[in-house]
Structure formats: structure tokens, C-alpha cells
Structure 1
Amino acid sequence: MATDQWIRLILEYGRFRKLFYLQIDDCKTTGNDWDEVLRNERINRRILPSYLTYLMETMVARGFAEYDPPRQTKSVLLYWRSPDEWAEALHSWASSIGSLNKIMTFYEITEPEIESSLSGMPIPLLRKAIAILAKTNRAQLIAIPGGEGVWFF
């Protein structure tokens, strides 16, 4: 039960603060974005690295996170929105700004002139969302000069 509550708290806090990554080091150091959740100085308590490791393993096993970068267990990319939800948000956003049948760079999506729900989105998550849209023929990943882009349909 406590594990479920911790996972829910981490995901809700991540969504509220637009935090995409959680690392074991976040519970070892002060002054980071996760302090409010992982430590309580008033009562001299903090989450232990071993328990945070367990929480991260559980979130990965349940599909609420993935290890990023892959092949390590010290950092996770949080899915406070599922990749499917991000795909829908991405396509809706592209439609709302008139970018269907246009090519957009990853930079234009993750760092738009007018802030959006996609602002600051990590590239691995953006790639997953594009792959989901590609399976339903609503987007295509393409190579462009200087990097990659996406063509929305």
C-alpha cells in the first residue's frame, strides 16, 4: 500500500512540476527539484536510496517509467502521462497550431515560441509518441538537415 502511495505521489508531483526524470541521487542531495517529496527536514526524515531504487524498479515494472539512459538503474524517465497520452497531446497540439501536413523539428516541438504542454519534453519520450502516431498513420519520423523531424498528417 505504501509503495502505491509513493508512486502516485511521485507521478502527481512530477506532473505538477513538469519533472520528467527521477534519479537515485535526488534523495542523496539537497537543493534539487524533488526535495519537497523526498525529504522532510522538519522531522529529519528522507527517503532512503534503497527504497527509491525499489520504487523506481516497481514503476518500470508497472509501465510508469523506463530507465533512461537504458542499461542502468539510477535514472528513470517518468510517465506521468502514458506514451499514448503524449502521442494524442502531440497530434492535437500539431493540429491546433496548423502544422498538419508540415514538417517540424524536434526543437520546434519541445521548445516552441509559445509554451505548450510539450515544452521541455525529453527526446526519448517524443520519439515514443511519434512512433505511436506513425503506427496509426498520423505522423512520420524523417531525417532533416541538422537532425530529425516529424511530419504530421
Structure 2
Amino acid sequence: MATTTTSPPPQPQSSSPSSPSFPFPREYFFPAFFTRQTNITIHHAQLTKWSALILAYARHHRLFRITISAAAESDLFYNRGIDRRLSPPDIREVLDFMRKDGRAEFLRPGESNGAADASSSAAAAGGDVVFLYWRKPEEWAALVEAFVEETAQKGSVLTVYELTEGENTRGTEFHGMDNQVLMKALNILVKRGKAQIFGSEDSLGVKFF
């Protein structure tokens, strides 16, 4: 978040071959955007803009989770054109800001089963893997429920694999999504009495009501 009103330098093409088409916002080309601002109001605006950028980037590339240590070197957090990067502690602070808004969820250190860390202090201090909710689990649940309704599959049993990789879901937003994020959405439907999950971890089935 820049503290001056000077024009940003020319916007170079991203050096990452995986994301040349992502339209970075103008703030991304200000060096001050990568430096933690000391003014509380400006810093809050900075966190808000970083949150919006991360979610837009994740949606564009269909990223459902990031590993902080690896992401720190990505073009999302490292603008090589102006040689500025967001430090890992600052990345963690932005992600914890997103967590409080329901847009990110930390995994506990060493945990891989999708259980999230509900503690603010633990989430801020530990965990390298973070779910990114450019759609919240409730929103994914609504999309899955709408798909089941539109395709007349109430009462049917679908596997998790069919939902994420099956031919019938091609063209839907949840095709190819992270299985753990999908499970969070499905569990919301279970709690609402709209679905039942059964089977082993490797071959989970879902019956919709």
C-alpha cells in the first residue's frame, strides 16, 4: 500500500511462465505494497488489498491451498520486476487476516487430513499449508447441491472421484477441486440432512437427498 501518490513504474510481464495472463492490480507494482505499513488504517487497507489479490490469483489459477514456504517465491508474493517480495511473516499475517474473514484456513503443523486449526494464536504461529477459500465451503456446498438438483440425482450415490473428476461434472466449478475442500462442503450438506457420506477413505461415496 503506497503512502505516496506517485505513478507506479512500468508493469513488466511476470517472469513465471505459469501465470503470464493474470492481471495484477496496480498496487502490485508499488514497492511500498510489499512493506508492512505502520499506520493502522493504511495497514488494514494493505491487508484488505492483499487478501483480494490472493483470492483473485487463487481463483484465476484454481488454487485451493498454498504452502507458505513455497509460495513466498511465487510471482504472487515476489514481484521480480521491481525486486520486491512479501516476507513469510507478512504473508502469514495476511493469511491470518483472511482466516478471520472465513477466506483461509490453516492446517495444523504435520497434519494432512484437512482438520483446521481453530486457534488464532496457533494459526498465526504455525502451519505451512493453508486452504484458500475464493469460494467458502458453504458456497461450494450450494453449487454441489444445485448440480445434484439440476441433474436429477437426488437419491443417487456418487463417489467423491466422480464429483471432482467425472465426465458429468466437466464444466462445473467444482470439477478438479481439492478433495479436502470438497469434503468440507459435503459435510455441510450432511449437517443439513441433504447428504450422507459412507465408505472408506479411498472410495468415499455420497448419497444426496
Q: Structures share a fold, TM > 0.5?
A: yes
For structure 1, list consecutive stretches of 5 or more residues without a partner in the other structure: none
Q: Which residue number corresponds to residue 136 of structure 1?
A: 192
What residue identity is the alignment partner of 1:26? A
Match of 1:125 in 2: 181
Deviates more, 1:104-113 or 1:118-127: 118-127
Which of the residues 80, 104, 127 maps onto 1:65? Answer: 104
User: In the alignment, what sits opposite 1:10?
Assistant: 54
Q: Does 1:39 align with 2:78?
A: yes
Amino acid at match of 1:75: V
- 1:145 & 1:80 partners in 2: Cα distance? 26
2:88 maps to which residue? 49
Separation in structure 1 between the aligned mates of residue 82 and residue 55 of structure 2, nearest angstrom: 24
- If asked which structure has higher relative contact order (CA below 8 Å, sep 6+), I would say 1
The superposition leaves residues 41-65 of structure 1 with CA deviations (integer Å, 9 ceiling, x where unpaired) of 1111111111111112222232211
Question: Which residue in the other structure is 2:156 paired with?
Answer: 102
Q: Between Structure 1 and Structure 2, how many residues are aligned?
A: 148
Q: Percent identity?
A: 32
For 1:142 and 1:53, the matched residues in 2 are separated by 36
State the secondary structure of the residue aligned to 2:206: strand
Determine the C-alpha separation between the residues in 2 that align with 1:121 and 1:100.
Answer: 22
Q: 1:82 aligns with which of 136, 144, 158?
A: 136
1:145 deviates by 9.4
| Residue aligned with 2:154, SS | coil
Higher strand proportion: 1
**C-alpha RMSD over aligned residues:** 2.0
Label 1:27 to 1:106 Cα distance change in 2 as closer, same or farther (>3 A): closer
1:88 CA drift (Å): 0.4
Secondary structure of the residue aligned to 1:42 is coil
